[in-house]
Structure 1
Amino acid sequence: MSAALLGKILWVLMVAGWYVIRYPFERRAKRGRVEKTARGKAETARMLISLTGLGILPGIFVATGFPRFATYAPSPLQTALGLVLMVAALVLFRLTHKALGKMWSVSLDIREKHELVTRGIYERVRHPMYTAFWTMALAQALLLPNLVAGLAGIVGFGTLYFLRVGPEEAMMEERFGEAYRDYSRRTARLVPGVY
């Protein structure tokens, strides 16, 4: 099996793993009551851009090979590194969902009786789910040997992240006040000791 085909198969498994992890939390979240939301046209646009980069464009490439002009032959080392990042992303993704439990939301929502989660993986990092998505986007860039489809995840998710993290932190600070400011001072946004 070629490294290119293996990379495509692994990307499909990564997307399937993402869905399997998220599905039960999404079902549970639909039953919970939302007290306050910052959803709207801007949030919908950010989510669509991220979906395009992490799902639609790479999915088209995996299914059809389009755009062929941007395809190259990957090395087995590149695919192996993509696999390592894929596993790391899915593990982080699972840990974030487990730690958030009932507080999880796909968007900028404050739930009824919302609690500030600072345990588990959230003990040292404020946004480990974003860390998981960044890792997933990097895995995609290594697994899919196409400059457009591979890098689309970094661009798509990067757009969502940089346009959303500020409003999300402002919403949390408004809700939790000094407790959130204190939490922010002692934690990193994405990677402990780095950022």
Structure 2
Amino acid sequence: MTPLIAKLLHGLCMVAWWVIRRPFERKTKRNVITHDAMDVQEKLLLAVSFTGLGVIPFIYIVSGFPRSLNQDFSPLRAVLGLMLFVASLGLFYATHKALGRNWSVTLKVREEHALVTAGVYRFVRHPMYTAFWMWAIAQALTLQNWVAGFAGIVGFGTLYLFRVGREEALMRATFGADWDAYAARTPRVMPFARRGSK
């Protein structure tokens, strides 16, 4: 494993993310939206996350910028990072499959929206966020640069911090007691963590 191969394989995983998501985007376009929480905050959070997980690593992969902030390369770290990224893509696909037409990029409630508690949702309430955390950590391991590596943790972490509460409030408003019961028995993003809504 070399830094170049690590960067190219990380970039390939980024493309695989888009390939996985694209068919689900097409399927959900026809759904009727009954509530859309897309506002300035949501747009900013999506932009920050996309910059950290997409724009900054892309610039680093194609240009090497900023080279002066490269770390000493560890092939083992890179391999572990790529394995984690591949695992996150598997979870990413399983999450989309479980959600079906309920999925959306932003905080939306669709006509005939269902509370999904099967599949990967048996283990965590937000497996999509779990997959993105795995990606962000994989990026820090694979792209061994102080800026490009940690940009995903900062970018996605910002989105997560300011969004997950809003999303859970929307789910509670939509599904009421069913959501509360589900949240009480299912951890938020880390499987097998202490049960409860925190």
- TM-score, length basis structure 1: 0.97
User: 1:68 and 2:67 equivalent?
Assistant: yes
Aligned residues of 2:123 and 2:192 also touching (Cα < 8 A): no
Q: Does the residue aligned with 1:31 lie in a helix, a strand or coil?
A: coil
Aligned residues of 1:10 and 1:143 also touching (Cα < 8 A): no
For 1:105 and 1:57, the matched residues in 2 are separated by: 24
Residue 192 of structure 1 aligns with which residue? 191
Show CA shifts across 1:78-122 (max 9, x none): 111012101110010000000000100001000011000001000
Q: What one-letter code is carried by the residue in structure 1 that aligns with 2:43?
A: T
For 1:29 and 1:42, the matched residues in 2 are separated by: 23
Q: CA deviation at 1:182?
A: 0.2
Residue 30 of structure 1 aligns with which residue? 29
Q: What one-letter code is carried by the residue in structure 2 that aligns with 1:162?
A: L
Q: What one-letter code is carried by the residue in structure 1 that aligns with 2:83?
A: V
Aligned residues of 1:6 and 1:79 also touching (Cα < 8 A): no
Q: CA deviation at 1:35?
A: 0.7
Q: CA deviation at 1:193?
A: 2.4
After TM superposition, list the pairs within 5 Å mapping 1:95-174 onto structure 2. 95-174=94-173
User: 1:44 and 2:62 equivalent?
Assistant: no
For 2:29 and 2:192, the matched residues in 1 are separated by: 36
Residue 181 of structure 1 aligns with which residue? 180
For 1:194 and 1:187, the matched residues in 2 are separated by: 9
For 2:30 and 2:5, the matched residues in 1 are separated by: 39
Residue 79 of structure 2 aligns with which residue? 80
Please, which moves more after superposition, 63-72 or 154-163? 63-72
**What RMSD, in angstroms, separates the aligned Cα atoms of the two structures?**
1.0
Q: CA deviation at 1:6?
A: 1.6
Aligned residues of 2:28 and 2:104 also touching (Cα < 8 A): yes
Q: CA deviation at 1:73?
A: 3.0
For 1:141 and 1:26, the matched residues in 2 are separated by: 28
Q: CA deviation at 1:38?
A: 0.6
Q: What one-letter code is carried by the residue in structure 2 that aligns with 1:137?
A: A
For 1:179 and 1:95, the matched residues in 2 are separated by: 22
For 1:9 and 1:63, the matched residues in 2 are separated by: 9
For 2:156 and 2:8, the matched residues in 1 are separated by: 21
Q: CA deviation at 1:192?
A: 2.0
Unaligned stretches of 5+ in structure 2?
none
Aligned residues of 1:4 and 1:73 also touching (Cα < 8 A): no
For 1:5 and 1:64, the matched residues in 2 are separated by: 11
For 2:94 and 2:136, the matched residues in 1 are separated by: 18
Q: Does the residue aligned with 1:147 lie in a helix, a strand or coil?
A: coil
Residue 8 of structure 2 aligns with which residue? 9
